[in-house]
Chain A
Amino acid sequence: MAVHDNYAHGERRRPFAAFLIAALLAIPSASWAVDIPFTQLFFGRQFRSLLEDAAHYPASFVSAEGSYWDIYHERRNLRLQDYEQKMGAITAITHRGHLLLGVSAWTDRLSLEQENLYTDADRLTGQRENNGAKGIAGYSLARDLPLGVSRMDALAAAGGNGAFLGELELQLFWNDAASFLVVGETMSNALEVDEEINGSRFPFRFPFDTDRWFARFQLNTQPACIRAWGLYEGNSGSGDAVKEFENRVWWQRYGVGASLDYHLEPAYRLQLTPHLSPGVTRGPGARLRVDYTDATLDLAMYFQDVRYMHLDDLSITNPIVRLDVVPLPWLSFFGGWERLHAEHHGDSFFDVWPFTIWDVFTARRYRVGDFDTHLDTWFAGAAGRLEKKRFLGELSTRFEWWSSDTDLEWLERIDVLFPFFFRYESHQRSWSLGSDYAVQTDVAVWWRFTAAMWLRVSGRATVPIAAGGSAGGGAGDGSGGGGSAGGTPATPGTNSTHGGLIGTAEIVIGR
């Protein structure tokens, strides 16, 4: 496999940067955006609590779970992005008095493919494999403890996926009134990207280390249930395409969130992920849920110890409001709104010189000034439920409207007298995505063979119906020196559609 080079054109540093930028820009529908988009895909398995999971399972059980994700994103100039994730896991856990013991093994493979990066002949493929196993040990104590704690669960897991993997969990309960959960995890992984530009290949391997912490406090009041959480995720790593090429990336995010569930009794609680919340309250009623997450993202990229990209304080907020109305025990109607909002008001920069060696003579540099984008999703739908002895089936279909607006101001460093004097010019651009429509369908079926043995299958499909296109916004240039102000012609925006399929299946054998 010959690795051609485009060194003379200074393209050697393109691969990872182009890939990452494309990925960050490729925010799919908010339907997928429970977390900051793609962080979960890129950095490994879903971040979830073993302690919480175990609480919904029999005292001793073996479970096998598989899931399949296929998300695509099409837009002009970056015609197709396709992300496919296949994951399988086997977990066995048993309780022995206060002790919890278990093992878990998994395989998790992400494949990504982007076509038409620069020209029709350019493409990018990539994969991240995460195969590993870990041993689990926990301790549970249910009695009166200091600070009014009625029960405490602690868990530690250690294993490997080619490198050390560790996890700690602690969960505290104050009877049924409140609970506190903290989960921490450290792991290593690697992303492999293969970019092809004009027939030249740029293989890139990017190993990275991840540290994640999540803490949540939940107050179980009636009729409202309040949750508040905080999260931290730090990633760093360095990779190379060929031996001379080194690139380091560092990023981290902090987030806080709050959630309010308000039940208008009697409520009928419908869950589309029944294994996590099997409890059902019968009777007509309504349920209002409000979620709000606010995260901050920092990102830096280095080449040969020179920091050429620095993104500081990218704020991402994700409010969700949803109302479920349940007129009949087997039927509910729901609607709501979700917004994924990202904004930046710092002084970040992105040196363009990694992309063309000749810019050494101009030292051109770009900075992100103000950036504000949001993707709104309005949705309305209906859900039905069928329960027959050991069978539970749920079907939910919702119609979505997507729209987004983006305002971007970037600063361009202009050489007044190279290499001594520079000035900055300000550029603005706005664009908006009209209305896109999609139908999302969720299906969940659940066979309970016994109280401790079941099979669960669920799926989600999002199908775009129409792409409303987008309007190129007003664009303008202004001089940082207070000088000439002019305008650049508005350019058409990018038509963009998203869709995909998610399927999961789980079988649990317990006693």
Chain B
Amino acid sequence: MNWFYRVLALLVCVVCAACSNNPVSEDKTPPENPTKANQIATEGFTALGDALAALNSASNSELRNVRFNSERSQFEEALKYQANNGVAHLGLAILEIVELNYSSDIWAVVDSLQSWGCGPQGILPPVELTPFDLAPVDARHMLLGRQFQLAVMLPVATSTRMAAAFPANVTVGKVQDIITNTVIPALNRSIKHLDIVEKKTGTSLHLTVQTGHGTEDIVIDMGEILVFSAAVHALRSGFSAATAYDEDVFDHDGTYDWLDQICYLANDNCRYAWTVDATDIGGGMVDLKIFRTYDDTSTAIDSIWIDLAHYNMETRTGFLSLRNGGTPLSNAQTDLLGTLTRLESAVTFIRNRQNESDQNVIKLADLTDLDSGLGDPGAPNFAKNWTKVEDVIAFIQQVLSGPVVFNEELGSHHVPFTWTVNLSTLYTNPVPDWNTLLPYHRWNIPGGAWRTSVDSLTTYNNSGYEWWNYAHTGPHSCGFVYYPSVNDVTLHQRWWSFDGASFFDLLDGPNGNPVDLQTARFPYLPDYTLHGLFPDMTRARWLELIDILDPPASMYLVSGRGRSR
């Protein structure tokens, strides 16, 4: 470096220092002051609670503009006084999640759903959804209310939404991408803050709730915080699992236009109308040609569903196959185990809580009450020895970690049966493609002619009497039509039918012969362990289980001395 550049660099440094409000030498970090940090963070926490409670009454347009900038500033200000302040990090952990409201990607999905009027006719009202309504719980509860329920219901909710309400320009894959790229990173950041809080075991805060007639004081300590942390881990686990497989249900065009077709069919006001063609024959008389269909709509909708299933299962590559190499599922298992660990810690904390009071949200009495519901003599064997909540947690940990042997008396005759469940294999060695586990089968009408019809033609003389019925009055209109004097009537009727057994056969092996499930008792599977989920199950054992649960009439003969086989 020659002298010119040395001088230039020096000048830049001087200018930068001069432009700065704070001298470079000044220490911007205030001295550590945990009391001050707690005070600021608690104020921020209260403000955050008020802001979230107010969202209940916010309109959709107001909701998308909600910002939590001042609350974030308060938490960050508190961290200046104590870098590992528990309340501030707890507040930030919550903020990382609620700030998902800022995501334009999420709002784009919401807007698309809202703009979708269920087909070009706009028959259905716009779907009212907000990011806070995505939880499949009571509408009064927001996204994070009842986290456990949300996590449990997430896959169901996702499929329900997809099947019934997703517009054509939104795919499951795009939603999964949003979860992967936006939601899970937010949860990662939240959990990072919670990790800090969990190390600050003395963290607690007092909050005041306005009741409308007064106030209610509540106390939050590590018991509640650990439960919340467990819930966030469970939430991340649920989201991870929701992104594990390709769950799009495309039609042949790779779109969701089939939703519009179903929507149109299901909501066509004229679907029950007859078609009437009147010919004036003079003297004020008409001849009528009437066309009527039966089960047209229902079989047409069923036909679309079957066509979708056939296309996605047989033709489309990737349907129900693993995305991203199974990483989301291993992450989901880790998070589920983390959930249990935190619940266990929460239980331990609450049982040993020094300052138990009415104001604690989760009380010791809640745990003892849960305990009292365990140990029922009538419980299954695996639950018979549970005496406290910790036993339940330990059992779920065992189920999630490896094979568990169950030995129960099943069926109405209490027949002992032993089997093994290895749930962990679905996480550690996930099924690459669920299609490969389906029973042996074949599609009989791959061309798509899923329904058939039978016609009948009848003519009769109406003797000049009147005739009226609900019928088409235009291309998209219908109403009651009335003819005062009708002579001849030609009635053309068409009965649509849909025979489920005709398009799909279960087989007794690869390219095998069709089987009757009533006779076979259990379908023939390529893998009776279901990819190791039930490692010791064979066809013979499945049949044994079916016989226990649904015994054939000849299996148990009633006699005074017991059963005979």
Binding site for B on A (CB under 8 A): 5, 7-10, 12, 244, 303-307, 346-347, 349, 353, 357, 360-363, 367, 369-370, 411, 413-426, 479-484
Q: Name the contact of A411 in the complex, choosing from B212, B358, B376 (C-beta under 8 A).
A: B212
Hey, what's the 0/1 contact readout for B374-401 against A, CB within 8 Å counting as 1? 0010000000000000000000000000
What are 26 A-B contacts defined by CB distance under 8 Å?
A10-B373, A304-B364, A304-B368, A306-B358, A307-B358, A357-B369, A360-B362, A361-B148, A361-B149, A414-B141, A416-B55, A416-B142, A418-B144, A419-B228, A420-B49, A421-B53, A422-B49, A422-B53, A422-B218, A424-B209, A425-B140, A480-B212, A481-B56, A481-B57, A483-B56, A484-B56
Contact, CB under 8 Å: A422 / B209: yes
Q: Which of B357-373 contact A (CB under 8 A)?
A: 358, 361-366, 368-370, 372-373
Contact, CB under 8 Å: A411 / B213: yes
Cα A305 to Cα B365 with chains together (Å): 9
Contact, CB under 8 Å: B366 / A484: no
Task: Give the secondary structure class of A's interface.
Answer: mixed
Cα A411 to Cα B215 with chains together (Å): 12
Q: A306-B358, A411-B212, A479-B57 are in contact. Are A416 and B145 (CB under 8 A)?
A: yes
Contact, CB under 8 Å: A367 / B211: yes
Say whether B146 faces chain A, with CB atoms less than 8 Å apart.
yes
B residues less than 8 Å from A8 (CB atoms):
373, 376
Cα A244 to Cα B370 with chains together (Å): 13
Q: Name the contact of A347 in the complex, choosing from B141, B147, B213, B361 (C-beta under 8 A).
A: B213
Say whether B260 faces chain A, with CB atoms less than 8 Å apart.
no
Contact, CB under 8 Å: A346 / B54: no
Q: Name the contact of B213 in the complex, choosing from A353, A361, A369, A417 (C-beta under 8 A).
A: A369
Cα A363 to Cα B216 with chains together (Å): 13
A44 to chain B, nearest CB (A): 31
Contact, CB under 8 Å: A347 / B53: no
Contact, CB under 8 Å: B227 / A419: yes
Give the size of the chain B interface in residues (CB under 8 angstroms). Answer: 47
Q: Name the contact of A361 in the complex, choosing from B146, B214, B218 (C-beta under 8 A).
A: B146
* Given A421-B53, A484-B57, 4 new contacts (CB under 8 A): A304-B364, A353-B366, A361-B148, A421-B52
B residues less than 8 Å from A411 (CB atoms):
211-213
B residues less than 8 Å from A481 (CB atoms):
53-54, 56-57
Say whether B224 faces chain A, with CB atoms less than 8 Å apart.
yes
Contact, CB under 8 Å: B56 / A415: no
Chain B CB count within 10 A is highest, among A303, A349, A420, for: A420
Q: Name the contact of B366 in the complex, choosing from A7, A307, A357, A414 (C-beta under 8 A).
A: A357
Contact, CB under 8 Å: A417 / B209: no
Q: Which of B107-126 contact A (CB under 8 A)?
A: none
B403 to chain A, nearest CB (A): 28
B residues less than 8 Å from A303 (CB atoms):
365
A residues less than 8 Å from B370 (CB atoms):
357, 360
Q: A304-B365, A347-B214 are in contact. Are A417 and B56 (CB under 8 A)?
A: no
A478 to chain B, nearest CB (A): 9
Contact, CB under 8 Å: B145 / A423: no
B15 to chain A, nearest CB (A): 48
A residues less than 8 Å from B373 (CB atoms):
7-10, 357
B residues less than 8 Å from A305 (CB atoms):
365
B residues less than 8 Å from A413 (CB atoms):
209, 211, 216
A353 to chain B, nearest CB (A): 7
A residues less than 8 Å from B559 (CB atoms):
none
Q: Name the contact of B376 in the complex, choosing from A7, A12, A480 (C-beta under 8 A).
A: A7
Hey, what's the 0/1 contact readout for B146-183 against A, CB within 8 Å counting as 1? 11110000000000000000000000000000000000
Say whether B426 faces chain A, with CB atoms less than 8 Å apart.
no
Say whether B210 faces chain A, with CB atoms less than 8 Å apart.
yes
Contact, CB under 8 Å: A417 / B52: yes
The residue of chain B having its C-beta at the shortest distance from the C-beta of A304 within the complex is B365
The residue of chain A having its C-beta at the shortest distance from the C-beta of B54 within the complex is A481
A179 to chain B, nearest CB (A): 44
Contact, CB under 8 Å: B213 / A306: no
Contact, CB under 8 Å: A419 / B361: yes
Cα A419 to Cα B365 with chains together (Å): 16
Contact, CB under 8 Å: B228 / A420: yes
A residues less than 8 Å from B58 (CB atoms):
483
Contact, CB under 8 Å: A415 / B146: yes
A489 to chain B, nearest CB (A): 17
A residues less than 8 Å from B52 (CB atoms):
416-417, 421
A332 to chain B, nearest CB (A): 48
The residue of chain A having its C-beta at the shortest distance from the C-beta of B58 within the complex is A483
The residue of chain A having its C-beta at the shortest distance from the C-beta of B375 within the complex is A7
A residues less than 8 Å from B140 (CB atoms):
414, 425
Say whether B404 faces chain A, with CB atoms less than 8 Å apart.
no
Say whether B83 faces chain A, with CB atoms less than 8 Å apart.
no
A414 to chain B, nearest CB (A): 6
Pairs of residues from A and B, 5 with the lowest C-beta to C-beta distance, nearest first? A483-B57, A347-B214, A423-B53, A421-B49, A360-B366
